[in-house]
Structure 1
Protein backbone atom coordinates (compact mmCIF):
# COMPACT_ATOMS: atom_id res chain seq x y z
CA UNK A 1 0.00 0.00 0.00
CA UNK A 2 2.82 2.42 0.85
CA UNK A 3 4.55 1.81 -2.48
CA UNK A 4 1.30 2.50 -4.34
CA UNK A 5 0.78 5.67 -2.29
CA UNK A 6 4.31 6.88 -3.05
CA UNK A 7 3.85 6.29 -6.78
CA UNK A 8 0.52 8.13 -6.64
CA UNK A 9 2.11 11.10 -4.84
CA UNK A 10 4.92 11.26 -7.40
CA UNK A 11 2.44 11.20 -10.30
CA UNK A 12 0.30 13.93 -8.74
CA UNK A 13 3.44 15.97 -7.92
CA UNK A 14 4.37 15.84 -11.60
CA UNK A 15 0.84 16.94 -12.51
CA UNK A 16 1.32 19.90 -10.17
CA UNK A 17 4.67 20.59 -11.81
CA UNK A 18 2.98 20.54 -15.21
CA UNK A 19 0.24 22.96 -14.07
CA UNK A 20 3.00 25.13 -12.58
CA UNK A 21 4.58 25.24 -16.03
CA UNK A 22 1.50 26.28 -18.00
CA UNK A 23 0.33 28.53 -15.16
CA UNK A 24 3.66 30.35 -14.80
CA UNK A 25 4.96 30.20 -18.38
CA UNK A 26 3.67 33.73 -18.83
CA UNK A 27 6.03 34.95 -16.10
CA UNK A 28 9.08 34.43 -18.27
CA UNK A 29 7.76 35.47 -21.67
CA UNK A 30 4.78 37.82 -21.32
CA UNK A 31 6.88 40.98 -21.49
CA UNK A 32 8.87 39.77 -24.51
CA UNK A 33 5.71 38.77 -26.37
CA UNK A 34 3.95 42.02 -25.45
CA UNK A 35 6.81 44.12 -26.83
CA UNK A 36 7.07 41.88 -29.92
CA UNK A 37 10.65 40.99 -29.07
CA UNK A 38 9.73 37.32 -29.52
CA UNK A 39 6.91 35.51 -31.31
CA UNK A 40 4.67 33.64 -28.84
CA UNK A 41 5.59 30.13 -29.95
CA UNK A 42 9.29 30.95 -30.14
CA UNK A 43 9.11 32.45 -26.67
CA UNK A 44 7.41 29.33 -25.28
CA UNK A 45 10.03 27.02 -26.79
CA UNK A 46 12.83 29.14 -25.37
CA UNK A 47 11.16 29.29 -21.96
CA UNK A 48 10.65 25.51 -21.91
CA UNK A 49 14.32 24.88 -22.73
CA UNK A 50 15.59 27.39 -20.17
CA UNK A 51 13.21 26.00 -17.52
CA UNK A 52 14.70 22.58 -18.17
CA UNK A 53 18.26 23.87 -17.78
CA UNK A 54 17.43 25.97 -14.73
CA UNK A 55 16.08 22.94 -12.87
CA UNK A 56 19.56 21.41 -12.82
CA UNK A 57 21.29 24.44 -11.29
CA UNK A 58 20.59 23.82 -7.60
CA UNK A 59 18.62 21.97 -4.93
CA UNK A 60 18.68 24.39 -1.97
CA UNK A 61 15.06 25.47 -2.43
CA UNK A 62 14.00 21.82 -2.75
CA UNK A 63 15.50 21.07 0.66
CA UNK A 64 13.57 23.98 2.18
CA UNK A 65 10.25 22.72 0.76
CA UNK A 66 10.96 19.11 1.66
CA UNK A 67 12.15 19.59 5.22
CA UNK A 68 11.43 23.14 6.35
CA UNK A 69 7.64 23.54 6.06
CA UNK A 70 5.92 20.53 7.67
CA UNK A 71 6.92 17.38 9.54
CA UNK A 72 4.65 14.72 8.05
CA UNK A 73 4.15 11.43 9.95
CA UNK A 74 5.65 8.31 8.45
CA UNK A 75 3.64 5.76 6.52
CA UNK A 76 0.45 6.04 4.52
CA UNK A 77 -1.03 8.79 6.73
CA UNK A 78 1.94 11.03 5.99
CA UNK A 79 1.74 10.28 2.28
CA UNK A 80 -1.95 11.21 2.38
CA UNK A 81 -0.99 14.60 3.83
CA UNK A 82 1.47 15.21 0.99
CA UNK A 83 -1.06 14.04 -1.61
CA UNK A 84 -3.75 16.32 -0.16
CA UNK A 85 -1.33 19.27 -0.27
CA UNK A 86 -0.69 18.66 -3.96
CA UNK A 87 -4.39 18.33 -4.77
CA UNK A 88 -5.07 21.61 -2.95
CA UNK A 89 -2.28 23.39 -4.84
CA UNK A 90 -3.42 22.05 -8.21
CA UNK A 91 -7.00 23.11 -7.49
CA UNK A 92 -5.97 26.70 -6.74
CA UNK A 93 -3.67 26.79 -9.77
CA UNK A 94 -6.50 25.77 -12.09
CA UNK A 95 -8.95 28.26 -10.56
CA UNK A 96 -6.55 31.22 -10.91
CA UNK A 97 -5.46 30.11 -14.39
CA UNK A 98 -9.10 30.03 -15.50
CA UNK A 99 -9.63 33.53 -14.09
CA UNK A 100 -6.41 34.74 -15.74
CA UNK A 101 -4.89 35.81 -12.42
CA UNK A 102 -1.10 35.44 -12.06
CA UNK A 103 -1.12 33.95 -8.57
CA UNK A 104 1.80 32.03 -7.11
CA UNK A 105 2.13 28.29 -7.71
CA UNK A 106 4.87 28.31 -5.07
CA UNK A 107 2.61 29.72 -2.40
CA UNK A 108 -0.21 27.43 -3.52
CA UNK A 109 2.02 24.46 -2.76
CA UNK A 110 3.17 25.87 0.58
CA UNK A 111 -0.44 26.66 1.50
CA UNK A 112 -1.53 23.16 0.52
CA UNK A 113 1.17 21.63 2.73
CA UNK A 114 0.21 23.79 5.71
CA UNK A 115 -3.53 23.18 5.29
CA UNK A 116 -3.20 19.42 4.92
CA UNK A 117 -0.85 19.24 7.91
CA UNK A 118 -3.20 21.26 10.12
CA UNK A 119 -6.24 19.22 9.07
CA UNK A 120 -4.43 16.00 9.92
CA UNK A 121 -3.26 17.38 13.28
CA UNK A 122 0.28 17.26 11.96
CA UNK A 123 3.22 19.55 12.68
CA UNK A 124 3.74 22.80 10.81
CA UNK A 125 7.22 24.28 11.18
CA UNK A 126 6.04 27.85 11.60
CA UNK A 127 9.55 29.28 11.88
CA UNK A 128 10.34 27.89 8.45
CA UNK A 129 7.04 29.16 7.03
CA UNK A 130 7.65 32.67 8.36
CA UNK A 131 11.38 32.91 7.58
CA UNK A 132 11.41 31.16 4.20
CA UNK A 133 7.93 31.96 2.86
CA UNK A 134 6.07 34.85 4.51
CA UNK A 135 8.98 37.29 4.85
CA UNK A 136 10.27 36.67 1.29
CA UNK A 137 6.67 36.86 0.05
CA UNK A 138 6.44 40.40 1.44
CA UNK A 139 9.95 41.58 0.58
CA UNK A 140 10.46 40.18 -2.93
CA UNK A 141 7.68 42.23 -4.61
CA UNK A 142 8.90 45.38 -2.85
CA UNK A 143 12.48 44.74 -3.92
CA UNK A 144 11.36 43.92 -7.48
CA UNK A 145 9.28 47.11 -7.71
CA UNK A 146 12.01 49.40 -6.38
CA UNK A 147 14.94 47.87 -8.27
CA UNK A 148 13.05 47.72 -11.55
CA UNK A 149 12.06 51.36 -11.19
CA UNK A 150 15.63 52.40 -10.43
CA UNK A 151 17.03 50.37 -13.34
CA UNK A 152 14.48 51.93 -15.66
CA UNK A 153 15.47 55.43 -14.52
CA UNK A 154 19.11 54.60 -15.26
CA UNK A 155 18.17 53.35 -18.74
CA UNK A 156 16.11 56.48 -19.41
CA UNK A 157 19.04 58.68 -18.43
CA UNK A 158 21.68 56.73 -20.38
CA UNK A 159 19.62 56.67 -23.56
CA UNK A 160 17.92 60.05 -23.20
CA UNK A 161 19.32 61.28 -26.55
CA UNK A 162 18.80 58.03 -28.47
CA UNK A 163 16.33 57.88 -31.33
CA UNK A 164 13.22 55.86 -30.41
CA UNK A 165 13.20 53.44 -33.38
CA UNK A 166 16.82 52.18 -33.10
CA UNK A 167 16.47 52.14 -29.31
CA UNK A 168 13.40 49.90 -29.45
CA UNK A 169 15.09 47.61 -31.96
CA UNK A 170 18.15 47.23 -29.75
CA UNK A 171 16.16 46.49 -26.61
CA UNK A 172 14.03 43.93 -28.46
CA UNK A 173 17.25 42.05 -29.16
CA UNK A 174 18.36 42.50 -25.54
CA UNK A 175 15.04 41.11 -24.38
CA UNK A 176 15.89 37.76 -25.91
CA UNK A 177 18.66 37.45 -23.31
CA UNK A 178 16.64 38.89 -20.41
CA UNK A 179 13.66 36.62 -21.15
CA UNK A 180 16.01 33.63 -21.27
CA UNK A 181 17.47 34.66 -17.91
CA UNK A 182 13.96 34.99 -16.49
CA UNK A 183 13.00 31.50 -17.72
CA UNK A 184 16.21 30.07 -16.29
CA UNK A 185 15.35 31.60 -12.90
CA UNK A 186 11.83 30.16 -13.12
CA UNK A 187 13.26 26.69 -13.70
CA UNK A 188 15.74 27.16 -10.86
CA UNK A 189 13.01 28.17 -8.40
CA UNK A 190 9.87 26.28 -9.39
CA UNK A 191 11.13 22.84 -10.43
CA UNK A 192 12.85 22.56 -7.05
CA UNK A 193 9.54 22.84 -5.21
CA UNK A 194 8.27 19.68 -6.86
CA UNK A 195 11.59 17.97 -6.16
CA UNK A 196 11.18 18.82 -2.48
CA UNK A 197 7.69 17.36 -2.31
CA UNK A 198 8.73 14.13 -4.04
CA UNK A 199 11.68 13.67 -1.67
CA UNK A 200 9.39 14.42 1.28
CA UNK A 201 7.10 11.59 0.08
CA UNK A 202 10.07 9.22 -0.30
CA UNK A 203 11.28 10.02 3.22
CA UNK A 204 7.80 9.64 4.73
CA UNK A 205 7.34 6.33 2.91
CA UNK A 206 10.69 5.02 4.13
CA UNK A 207 12.32 4.85 0.69
CA UNK A 208 14.88 7.62 1.22
CA UNK A 209 16.97 9.04 4.05
CA UNK A 210 17.86 12.69 4.40
CA UNK A 211 16.79 15.39 1.96
CA UNK A 212 19.46 15.10 -0.70
CA UNK A 213 17.72 15.17 -4.08
CA UNK A 214 18.25 12.01 -6.22
CA UNK A 215 19.19 12.65 -9.84
CA UNK A 216 16.06 10.97 -11.20
CA UNK A 217 13.85 13.31 -9.17
CA UNK A 218 15.61 16.28 -10.76
CA UNK A 219 15.11 14.81 -14.24
CA UNK A 220 11.39 14.08 -13.97
CA UNK A 221 10.64 17.38 -12.21
CA UNK A 222 12.54 19.36 -14.83
CA UNK A 223 10.79 17.49 -17.64
CA UNK A 224 7.27 18.00 -16.27
CA UNK A 225 7.83 21.73 -15.70
CA UNK A 226 9.31 22.14 -19.18
CA UNK A 227 6.39 20.33 -20.84
CA UNK A 228 3.91 22.44 -18.90
CA UNK A 229 5.70 25.60 -19.94
CA UNK A 230 5.59 24.61 -23.60
CA UNK A 231 1.83 24.04 -23.39
CA UNK A 232 1.50 27.77 -22.68
CA UNK A 233 -0.36 30.09 -20.35
CA UNK A 234 -2.15 32.46 -22.69
CA UNK A 235 -4.77 33.77 -20.24
CA UNK A 236 -2.19 34.91 -17.71
CA UNK A 237 0.13 36.14 -20.46
CA UNK A 238 -2.51 38.66 -21.50
CA UNK A 239 -2.79 39.95 -17.92
CA UNK A 240 0.95 40.38 -17.38
CA UNK A 241 1.86 41.59 -20.86
CA UNK A 242 -1.00 43.92 -21.73
CA UNK A 243 -3.46 44.64 -18.95
CA UNK A 244 -1.06 46.10 -16.38
CA UNK A 245 0.74 48.54 -18.70
CA UNK A 246 1.48 48.93 -22.39
CA UNK A 247 5.09 47.79 -22.26
CA UNK A 248 7.84 48.98 -24.57
CA UNK A 249 11.12 47.05 -25.12
CA UNK A 250 13.30 49.05 -22.65
CA UNK A 251 10.76 48.57 -19.87
CA UNK A 252 10.29 44.92 -20.73
CA UNK A 253 14.06 44.41 -20.56
CA UNK A 254 14.36 46.21 -17.20
CA UNK A 255 11.51 44.20 -15.68
CA UNK A 256 12.90 40.85 -16.81
CA UNK A 257 16.46 41.62 -15.76
CA UNK A 258 15.37 42.75 -12.31
CA UNK A 259 13.10 39.76 -11.74
CA UNK A 260 15.87 37.37 -12.82
CA UNK A 261 18.32 38.92 -10.36
CA UNK A 262 15.84 38.57 -7.48
CA UNK A 263 15.12 34.92 -8.37
CA UNK A 264 18.80 33.96 -8.48
CA UNK A 265 19.66 35.80 -5.27
CA UNK A 266 16.87 34.27 -3.19
CA UNK A 267 17.54 30.75 -4.53
CA UNK A 268 21.31 30.68 -4.08
CA UNK A 269 21.80 33.00 -1.11
CA UNK A 270 18.71 32.28 1.02
CA UNK A 271 17.24 28.98 -0.31
CA UNK A 272 13.86 30.74 -0.18
CA UNK A 273 11.00 29.48 -2.40
CA UNK A 274 9.79 32.86 -3.62
CA UNK A 275 7.07 33.50 -6.16
CA UNK A 276 8.21 34.00 -9.74
CA UNK A 277 4.80 35.52 -10.41
CA UNK A 278 5.05 38.15 -7.70
CA UNK A 279 8.60 39.04 -8.69
CA UNK A 280 7.95 39.70 -12.38
CA UNK A 281 4.59 41.39 -11.75
CA UNK A 282 6.03 43.82 -9.22
CA UNK A 283 8.93 44.51 -11.60
CA UNK A 284 6.47 45.35 -14.38
CA UNK A 285 4.65 47.71 -12.00
CA UNK A 286 7.99 49.30 -11.07
CA UNK A 287 9.04 50.05 -14.64
CA UNK A 288 5.53 51.21 -15.47
CA UNK A 289 5.55 53.75 -12.65
CA UNK A 290 8.56 55.51 -14.21
CA UNK A 291 6.47 56.34 -17.28
CA UNK A 292 3.78 58.04 -15.30
CA UNK A 293 1.59 56.78 -12.49
CA UNK A 294 -1.54 56.94 -14.63
CA UNK A 295 0.09 54.65 -17.22
CA UNK A 296 -0.20 51.74 -14.80
CA UNK A 297 -3.61 50.11 -14.51
CA UNK A 298 -3.54 49.97 -10.75
CA UNK A 299 -6.97 48.33 -10.62
CA UNK A 300 -5.54 45.27 -12.38
CA UNK A 301 -2.58 45.40 -10.01
CA UNK A 302 -5.03 45.43 -7.11
CA UNK A 303 -6.79 42.32 -8.44
CA UNK A 304 -3.44 40.56 -8.68
CA UNK A 305 -2.55 41.65 -5.14
CA UNK A 306 -5.81 40.16 -3.87
CA UNK A 307 -4.89 36.86 -5.55
CA UNK A 308 -1.48 37.00 -3.85
CA UNK A 309 -3.03 37.54 -0.43
CA UNK A 310 -5.65 34.84 -0.93
CA UNK A 311 -3.31 32.16 -2.30
CA UNK A 312 -1.83 30.87 0.96
CA UNK A 313 -5.13 30.61 2.90
CA UNK A 314 -7.16 29.45 -0.13
CA UNK A 315 -4.66 26.73 -1.01
CA UNK A 316 -4.47 25.77 2.67
CA UNK A 317 -8.26 25.39 2.74
CA UNK A 318 -8.13 23.34 -0.45
CA UNK A 319 -5.42 21.13 1.04
CA UNK A 320 -7.44 20.63 4.23
CA UNK A 321 -10.59 19.70 2.29
CA UNK A 322 -8.58 17.34 0.11
CA UNK A 323 -7.18 15.64 3.20
CA UNK A 324 -10.65 15.16 4.69
CA UNK A 325 -11.76 13.49 1.45
CA UNK A 326 -8.63 11.40 0.87
CA UNK A 327 -8.51 10.00 4.40
CA UNK A 328 -11.91 8.42 3.75
CA UNK A 329 -10.62 6.83 0.56
CA UNK A 330 -7.08 5.79 1.50
CA UNK A 331 -6.87 3.47 4.54
CA UNK A 332 -4.26 4.45 7.11
Structure 2
Protein backbone atom coordinates (compact mmCIF):
# COMPACT_ATOMS: atom_id res chain seq x y z
CA UNK A 1 0.00 0.00 0.00
CA UNK A 2 2.89 2.36 0.73
CA UNK A 3 4.17 1.96 -2.84
CA UNK A 4 0.71 2.69 -4.26
CA UNK A 5 0.42 5.88 -2.20
CA UNK A 6 3.90 6.92 -3.33
CA UNK A 7 3.05 6.36 -7.00
CA UNK A 8 -0.18 8.36 -6.62
CA UNK A 9 1.89 11.23 -5.25
CA UNK A 10 4.33 10.90 -8.16
CA UNK A 11 1.37 11.00 -10.58
CA UNK A 12 0.09 14.19 -8.96
CA UNK A 13 3.59 15.68 -9.17
CA UNK A 14 3.56 14.89 -12.90
CA UNK A 15 0.18 16.61 -13.16
CA UNK A 16 1.53 19.64 -11.29
CA UNK A 17 4.54 19.82 -13.62
CA UNK A 18 2.20 19.44 -16.59
CA UNK A 19 0.35 22.52 -15.33
CA UNK A 20 3.37 24.81 -15.10
CA UNK A 21 4.99 23.32 -18.21
CA UNK A 22 1.93 23.84 -20.42
CA UNK A 23 0.61 27.03 -18.80
CA UNK A 24 2.43 29.05 -21.45
CA UNK A 25 0.28 27.60 -24.21
CA UNK A 26 -2.86 29.29 -22.96
CA UNK A 27 -1.54 32.54 -21.49
CA UNK A 28 1.42 33.56 -23.65
CA UNK A 29 -0.73 35.75 -25.91
CA UNK A 30 -2.67 37.53 -23.17
CA UNK A 31 0.59 38.25 -21.35
CA UNK A 32 2.57 39.36 -24.41
CA UNK A 33 -0.22 41.73 -25.51
CA UNK A 34 -0.63 43.00 -21.92
CA UNK A 35 -4.28 42.08 -21.75
CA UNK A 36 -3.54 40.57 -18.33
CA UNK A 37 -0.60 40.73 -15.98
CA UNK A 38 1.28 37.43 -15.57
CA UNK A 39 -0.22 36.91 -12.11
CA UNK A 40 -3.80 37.42 -13.30
CA UNK A 41 -3.18 35.34 -16.42
CA UNK A 42 -2.08 32.25 -14.49
CA UNK A 43 -5.00 32.67 -12.09
CA UNK A 44 -7.36 32.85 -15.08
CA UNK A 45 -5.87 29.71 -16.61
CA UNK A 46 -5.78 27.83 -13.31
CA UNK A 47 -9.45 28.55 -12.66
CA UNK A 48 -10.51 27.02 -15.96
CA UNK A 49 -8.12 24.09 -15.49
CA UNK A 50 -9.92 23.25 -12.27
CA UNK A 51 -13.55 23.78 -13.31
CA UNK A 52 -12.94 21.35 -16.17
CA UNK A 53 -13.32 18.66 -13.49
CA UNK A 54 -17.08 19.12 -13.57
CA UNK A 55 -19.21 17.85 -16.42
CA UNK A 56 -16.72 16.69 -19.05
CA UNK A 57 -16.65 12.95 -18.46
CA UNK A 58 -13.63 10.65 -18.21
CA UNK A 59 -13.26 9.40 -21.79
CA UNK A 60 -9.59 10.35 -22.10
CA UNK A 61 -8.83 8.84 -18.69
CA UNK A 62 -10.46 5.58 -19.78
CA UNK A 63 -8.32 5.49 -22.93
CA UNK A 64 -5.16 5.98 -20.89
CA UNK A 65 -6.26 3.37 -18.38
CA UNK A 66 -7.49 0.69 -20.77
CA UNK A 67 -6.57 1.58 -24.35
CA UNK A 68 -2.76 1.66 -24.51
CA UNK A 69 -1.40 -1.28 -22.53
CA UNK A 70 -3.06 -4.66 -21.97
CA UNK A 71 -4.19 -4.91 -18.32
CA UNK A 72 -1.90 -7.86 -17.64
CA UNK A 73 1.07 -5.70 -18.62
CA UNK A 74 0.38 -3.03 -16.02
CA UNK A 75 1.76 -3.06 -12.51
CA UNK A 76 3.04 -0.50 -10.04
CA UNK A 77 6.59 -0.57 -11.41
CA UNK A 78 5.50 0.01 -15.01
CA UNK A 79 3.43 3.01 -13.94
CA UNK A 80 6.20 4.41 -11.74
CA UNK A 81 8.83 4.05 -14.48
CA UNK A 82 6.56 5.70 -17.06
CA UNK A 83 5.77 8.61 -14.76
CA UNK A 84 9.41 9.21 -13.84
CA UNK A 85 10.40 9.19 -17.50
CA UNK A 86 7.70 11.72 -18.38
CA UNK A 87 8.59 13.94 -15.41
CA UNK A 88 12.29 13.91 -16.37
CA UNK A 89 11.49 14.91 -19.95
CA UNK A 90 9.13 17.66 -18.82
CA UNK A 91 11.74 19.14 -16.48
CA UNK A 92 14.46 19.03 -19.15
CA UNK A 93 12.28 20.77 -21.74
CA UNK A 94 11.03 23.29 -19.17
CA UNK A 95 14.62 24.14 -18.23
CA UNK A 96 15.65 24.82 -21.83
CA UNK A 97 12.36 26.60 -22.59
CA UNK A 98 11.15 24.08 -25.17
CA UNK A 99 7.37 23.65 -25.63
CA UNK A 100 6.54 19.94 -25.80
CA UNK A 101 3.58 17.72 -25.02
CA UNK A 102 3.49 16.33 -21.48
CA UNK A 103 0.72 13.96 -22.55
CA UNK A 104 2.79 12.36 -25.28
CA UNK A 105 5.75 12.07 -22.91
CA UNK A 106 3.53 10.20 -20.45
CA UNK A 107 2.13 7.86 -23.09
CA UNK A 108 5.62 7.16 -24.43
CA UNK A 109 6.97 6.56 -20.93
CA UNK A 110 4.21 4.10 -20.05
CA UNK A 111 4.51 2.28 -23.38
CA UNK A 112 8.28 2.00 -23.07
CA UNK A 113 8.11 0.66 -19.53
CA UNK A 114 5.45 -1.87 -20.55
CA UNK A 115 7.56 -3.12 -23.48
CA UNK A 116 10.48 -3.78 -21.14
CA UNK A 117 8.20 -5.79 -18.87
CA UNK A 118 6.17 -7.76 -21.40
CA UNK A 119 7.46 -7.12 -24.91
CA UNK A 120 5.78 -5.37 -27.83
CA UNK A 121 2.80 -7.71 -27.65
CA UNK A 122 1.70 -6.05 -24.43
CA UNK A 123 0.83 -2.84 -26.30
CA UNK A 124 -2.65 -2.22 -27.69
CA UNK A 125 -1.70 -1.14 -31.20
CA UNK A 126 -5.14 0.18 -32.10
CA UNK A 127 -5.08 2.67 -29.25
CA UNK A 128 -1.47 3.69 -29.88
CA UNK A 129 -2.15 4.08 -33.60
CA UNK A 130 -4.98 6.53 -32.95
CA UNK A 131 -2.79 8.56 -30.62
CA UNK A 132 0.10 8.57 -33.12
CA UNK A 133 -2.17 9.68 -35.95
CA UNK A 134 -3.47 12.61 -33.93
CA UNK A 135 0.05 13.57 -32.83
CA UNK A 136 0.72 14.22 -36.52
CA UNK A 137 -2.71 15.63 -37.36
CA UNK A 138 -3.07 18.05 -34.43
CA UNK A 139 -0.55 20.69 -35.61
CA UNK A 140 -1.73 20.34 -39.20
CA UNK A 141 -5.38 20.81 -38.24
CA UNK A 142 -4.35 23.71 -36.01
CA UNK A 143 -2.47 25.28 -38.92
CA UNK A 144 -5.46 24.93 -41.25
CA UNK A 145 -7.88 26.35 -38.70
CA UNK A 146 -5.48 29.20 -37.96
CA UNK A 147 -5.33 30.14 -41.64
CA UNK A 148 -9.12 29.93 -41.94
CA UNK A 149 -9.79 31.97 -38.80
CA UNK A 150 -7.26 34.65 -39.73
CA UNK A 151 -8.79 34.95 -43.19
CA UNK A 152 -12.26 35.41 -41.68
CA UNK A 153 -11.00 37.95 -39.15
CA UNK A 154 -9.23 40.01 -41.81
CA UNK A 155 -12.35 40.12 -43.96
CA UNK A 156 -14.58 41.10 -41.04
CA UNK A 157 -12.34 43.81 -39.60
CA UNK A 158 -10.44 45.21 -42.58
CA UNK A 159 -12.31 48.52 -42.34
CA UNK A 160 -12.30 48.75 -38.55
CA UNK A 161 -10.18 51.32 -36.74
CA UNK A 162 -7.20 50.09 -34.69
CA UNK A 163 -8.93 51.24 -31.49
CA UNK A 164 -12.05 49.20 -32.26
CA UNK A 165 -10.03 46.12 -33.16
CA UNK A 166 -7.98 46.43 -29.98
CA UNK A 167 -11.08 46.80 -27.83
CA UNK A 168 -12.77 43.72 -29.25
CA UNK A 169 -9.72 41.51 -29.39
CA UNK A 170 -8.63 42.23 -25.84
CA UNK A 171 -11.97 40.75 -24.74
CA UNK A 172 -11.80 37.85 -27.18
CA UNK A 173 -8.31 36.94 -25.98
CA UNK A 174 -9.72 36.43 -22.50
CA UNK A 175 -12.33 34.11 -23.96
CA UNK A 176 -9.82 32.16 -26.06
CA UNK A 177 -7.37 31.78 -23.15
CA UNK A 178 -10.18 30.58 -20.89
CA UNK A 179 -11.44 28.06 -23.43
CA UNK A 180 -7.92 26.80 -24.12
CA UNK A 181 -7.32 26.32 -20.39
CA UNK A 182 -10.66 24.55 -20.07
CA UNK A 183 -9.61 22.17 -22.84
CA UNK A 184 -6.20 21.73 -21.25
CA UNK A 185 -7.76 20.76 -17.94
CA UNK A 186 -10.33 18.53 -19.61
CA UNK A 187 -7.73 16.66 -21.66
CA UNK A 188 -4.44 16.70 -19.78
CA UNK A 189 -5.68 16.20 -16.23
CA UNK A 190 -7.47 13.10 -17.45
CA UNK A 191 -4.12 11.51 -18.35
CA UNK A 192 -3.20 11.55 -14.67
CA UNK A 193 -6.68 10.38 -13.72
CA UNK A 194 -6.27 7.39 -16.03
CA UNK A 195 -2.85 6.54 -14.62
CA UNK A 196 -4.05 6.62 -11.02
CA UNK A 197 -7.20 4.68 -11.86
CA UNK A 198 -5.31 1.89 -13.67
CA UNK A 199 -2.89 1.77 -10.74
CA UNK A 200 -5.78 1.24 -8.32
CA UNK A 201 -7.43 -1.25 -10.67
CA UNK A 202 -4.26 -3.30 -11.16
CA UNK A 203 -3.86 -3.45 -7.38
CA UNK A 204 -7.43 -4.76 -6.97
CA UNK A 205 -8.65 -1.63 -5.19
CA UNK A 206 -11.46 -0.74 -7.62
CA UNK A 207 -13.25 -4.06 -7.78
CA UNK A 208 -13.97 -6.01 -10.99
CA UNK A 209 -14.83 -2.97 -13.16
CA UNK A 210 -12.51 -0.15 -14.19
CA UNK A 211 -13.73 3.35 -13.29
CA UNK A 212 -12.29 6.68 -12.16
CA UNK A 213 -13.15 7.59 -8.53
CA UNK A 214 -14.36 11.13 -7.92
CA UNK A 215 -11.50 11.90 -5.52
CA UNK A 216 -9.08 11.06 -8.33
CA UNK A 217 -10.89 13.50 -10.64
CA UNK A 218 -10.72 16.32 -8.09
CA UNK A 219 -7.11 15.57 -7.15
CA UNK A 220 -5.89 15.57 -10.74
CA UNK A 221 -7.61 18.85 -11.62
CA UNK A 222 -6.42 20.50 -8.41
CA UNK A 223 -2.83 19.44 -9.13
CA UNK A 224 -2.82 20.76 -12.70
CA UNK A 225 -4.45 24.02 -11.56
CA UNK A 226 -1.83 24.50 -8.84
CA UNK A 227 0.90 23.78 -11.37
CA UNK A 228 -0.54 26.43 -13.65
CA UNK A 229 -0.54 28.88 -10.75
CA UNK A 230 3.17 28.14 -10.30
CA UNK A 231 3.62 29.39 -13.86
CA UNK A 232 5.91 28.44 -16.73
CA UNK A 233 7.71 31.70 -17.39
CA UNK A 234 10.71 30.21 -19.18
CA UNK A 235 8.38 28.91 -21.88
CA UNK A 236 6.12 32.01 -21.93
TM-score, length-scaled by structure 2: 0.95
Equivalent in 85, 90, 94 of residue 91 of structure 2: 94
Alignment of 1:291-310 (within 5 A): none
Q: 2:53 maps to what in 1?
A: 55
Higher RCO by CA contacts (8 Å cutoff, separation 6 or greater) = 2
Partners in 1 of 2:90 and 2:33 — Cα distance? Answer: 26
TM-superposition CA deviations, 1:15-62 (whole Å, max 9, x none): 000000010111111111112121111010010110001133221000
Partners in 1 of 2:32 and 2:24 — Cα distance? Answer: 11
Q: 2:132 maps to what in 1?
A: 134
Partners in 2 of 1:211 and 1:27 — Cα distance? Answer: 32
In structure 2, list runs of 5 or more residues that go unmatched. none
Does residue 100 of structure 2 align to residue 103 of structure 1? yes
In structure 1, list runs of 5 or more residues that go unmatched. 238-332
Partners in 2 of 1:19 and 1:82 — Cα distance? Answer: 17
How far 1:72 moved relative to its partner? 4.6
TM-superposition CA deviations, 1:231-289 (whole Å, max 9, x none): 0000111xxxxxxxxxxxxxxxxxxxxxxxxxxxxxxxxxxxxxxxxxxxxxxxxxxxx
Alignment of 1:159-308 (within 5 A): 159-208=157-206, 209-237=208-236
SS of match in other structure, 1:120 = helix
TM-score, length-scaled by structure 1: 0.68
Does residue 80 of structure 2 align to residue 83 of structure 1? yes
Superposition RMSD on alpha carbons, in Å?
1.3
Partners in 1 of 2:53 and 2:60 — Cα distance? Answer: 11
Q: 1:286 maps to what in 2?
A: none
Q: 2:30 maps to what in 1?
A: 32
Alignment of 1:120-131 (within 5 A): 120-122=117-119, 123-131=122-130
